Amino acid sequence: MSGSELAVGDEVVVDVGPVAHGGHCIARHEGRVLFVRHTLPGERVRARITEGGAGDRFLRADAVAVEGAAPGRVSAPCPYAGPGRCGGCDFQHADLATQRDLKTAVVREQFARLARLDVDVTVEPVPGDADGLRWRTRTEFAVDADGRPGMRLHRSHAILPVDDCLIAAPPVAAALSGRYAGCSAIDVVAPSVGGAVVVELPLVPGKSVPSVVESVRSARLDREFTVSARGFWQVHPGAASAFVDAALDVLDPRPGETALDLYSGVGVFTAALAQAVGERGRVVAVEADEEASTHAKANLTAYPWTVPVRARVDDFFGVARPKRRGPGPRRAGKPAARHPLAPPSADLVLLDPPRTGAGREVLVAVAALRPRAIAYVACDPAALARDTTYLRELGYELSDLRAFDAFPMTHHVECVAGFATVV
Ligand SMILES: C[S@@+](CC[C@H](N)C(=O)[O-])C[C@H]1O[C@@H](n2cnc3c(N)ncnc32)[C@H](O)[C@@H]1O
């Protein structure tokens, strides 16, 4: 069959090339590019087209039969993993070492392509992770029309009811035995302190979401934090501690310094920075979410030299908001007035933005503070690599890069990067 005739449901045998960002590998058939899931580089597989057709730049496909397996392939430990099934995990068919090799290749490729930098990084396990299973302490499960919890199929709204999830921590997986009539989803949290909490969605108007207590037990910080059961907290129990230590190793804060913690959530990095700079120092923490910001204020009372500010980071600096994505007219938001608590300079800046990254405008404002070091915690290596380009244009060089396997069995990877001024 010629490449231009390929359509959903067709099957072709392909030789699989390198891994690409997003949990799939690249293959070619008669000049067409295929993004194939459930396969590994170097394999020969029968690929079934799942999305795309004539005129599309690429097609998506699932490997439905393996004709030549690569070393590193294993049978998926989870019975719900595989072509056409649960869309939650991408790499159940690879052993952990191979999963980390795939993520290492993705981080290196993103930096080479988007930042034009060769980076010598190797994805590390999060301390305490033994086999990549039973780690996830926060999960949203979809609920079907019969009240059964489950997972959505890959790139679909269809729900596959499941009675276990092998990457979920046991108290999270236990919620799967319940029935949730009338709910569209459940958010399940197994916090560091106390029992599991199940939040039924949609939220009942007027009913408040419970808070939970999470802890960081690391070389740099030993503290508990109150956070909304639906608020942001790292989902791997070892992740927050690992990232705090990695980010502070990059910044190496000194007593008396001024630091900014941007996208600060409930104040995890703020507390670690506050402890390091001491009471002669100052840490300004900027977070947009009202609930997280309220929790940050309470979590940081032990450090009166911290200044939690509820604001969008772009508004805090008085720079334009990013262009609106999606359909409709593209417009940049009108810049707000620079926040009175935005300092004219800072010794250190830590950024931990959402998946979209910080973006150029924010980084220009960060560089204008002339910090001696910047730490950037990133859940998307593509956004980090793009923002690295901006920082290099602004006079900062990548000085450190670590990558963590904080989401085993999935394609996700967390990076902690350091930047310093070019002397
Ligand atoms: C990846 S989380 C990091 C939170 C915190 N650093 C931590 O480790 O717990 C990103 C945080 O940025 C916040 N956020 C998203 N967009 C923002 C913006 N434009 N300005 C400020 N905060 C934002 C989210 O509410 C979230 O708390």
CA-CA distance, 106 to 24, in Å (whole number)?
Answer: 11
Instruction: For 285-337, give the DSSP string.
Output: EEE--HHHHHHHHHHTTT-TTEEEEES-HHHHHT-PPPPPPSSS---PPPPPP
Gap between the Cα atoms of 93 and 96, Å rounded? 10
Ligand 1 centre distance from Cα of residue 88 (Å)? 23
Q: 86 an active-site residue?
A: no
Q: How many CB atoms lie within 10 A of CB 330?
A: 9
Atom 6 of ligand 1, nearest CA residue: 264
Q: Peptide bond before 237: cis, by omega within 30 degrees of 0?
A: no
Residue nearest to atom 25 of ligand 1 (CA): 289
Q: Tell me how long the chain is.
A: 423
Task: Give the angle 139-142-148 at the CA atoms, nearest 5°.
Answer: 115
- Rounded distance between C-alpha atoms, residue 198 and residue 171, angstroms: 10
Residue in 78, 165, 183, 379 annotated catalytic: 379
- Is 313 touching ligand 1 by the criterion CB < 6 Å? yes
**Could you tell me the distance, in angstroms and rounded to a whole number, from the CA of residue 289 to the centre of ligand 1?**
8
Can you tell me the distance from the alpha carbon of 401 to that of 81, in angstroms, rounded to the nearest whole number?
Answer: 32
What the chain holds in terms of domains, given with CATH numbers, is: 3-73 (2.40.50.140), 138-201 (no CATH), 211-323+335-421 (3.40.50.150)
Distance CA 382, CA 401 (A): 14
Atom of ligand 1 nearest to the CA of 261: 6
Task: Calculate how far, in angstroms, residue 232's C-alpha sits from the geometric centre of ligand 1.
Answer: 8
Name residues of the chain where pLDDT drops below 50. 330
Are 149 and 143 in contact, with CB atoms under 8 Å apart?
A: yes
Strand partners, 404: 124, 414
Rounding to the nearest 10 degrees, give the CA dihedral for residues 139, 78, 35, 352: 30
292 CB under 6 A from ligand 1?
yes
Mutate which of 213, 263, 314, 349 for ligand 1 pocket (most atoms within 8 A of beta carbon): 263
- Using a cut of 0.85, tell me whether the model's pTM lies above it: yes
Is the C-beta atom of 87 inside 6 A of ligand 1?
Answer: no
Helix axes of 268-277 and 239-251: crossing angle, nearest 10 degrees: 40
State whether the beta carbon of 354 lies less than 6 angstroms from ligand 1.
Answer: yes
Q: How far apart are CA 220 and CA 190, in angstroms?
A: 24
CB-based burial label for 280 (10 Å; 0-12, 13-18, 19+): exposed
166-187 confidence digits (pLDDT tens)? 999 999 999 999 999 999 999 9
CA 292 to ligand 1 centroid distance, Å: 9
pLDDT of residue 327: 55
* Cβ–Cβ under 8 Å, residues 150 and 161: yes
DSSP letter at 103 equals: H
Q: Is 73 left (phi over 0), alpha (psi -120 to 50) or beta?
A: beta
Q: Which atom of ligand 1 is nearest to the CA of 292?
A: 27
Q: Quick check: CB of 316 below 6 Å from ligand 1? A: no
Pocket of ligand 1 contains residue 268 by CB under 6 Å: yes
How far, in Å, is the centroid of ligand 1 from the Cα of 313? Answer: 9
In short, whether 269's Cβ falls inside 6 Å of ligand 1 is yes
Residue pointed to by tokens 């997972």? 151
Output the CA–CA distances (angstroms, integers) from residue 142 to 86, 222, 374, in the order listed: 11, 35, 38
Using the mean position of ligand 1's atoms as its centre, give its distance from the Cα of residue 260 in Å: 13
pLDDT at 330: 46
The values of phi and psi at residue 60, to 5°, are: -100, 150
The two structure tokens encoding residue 7: 């359509």
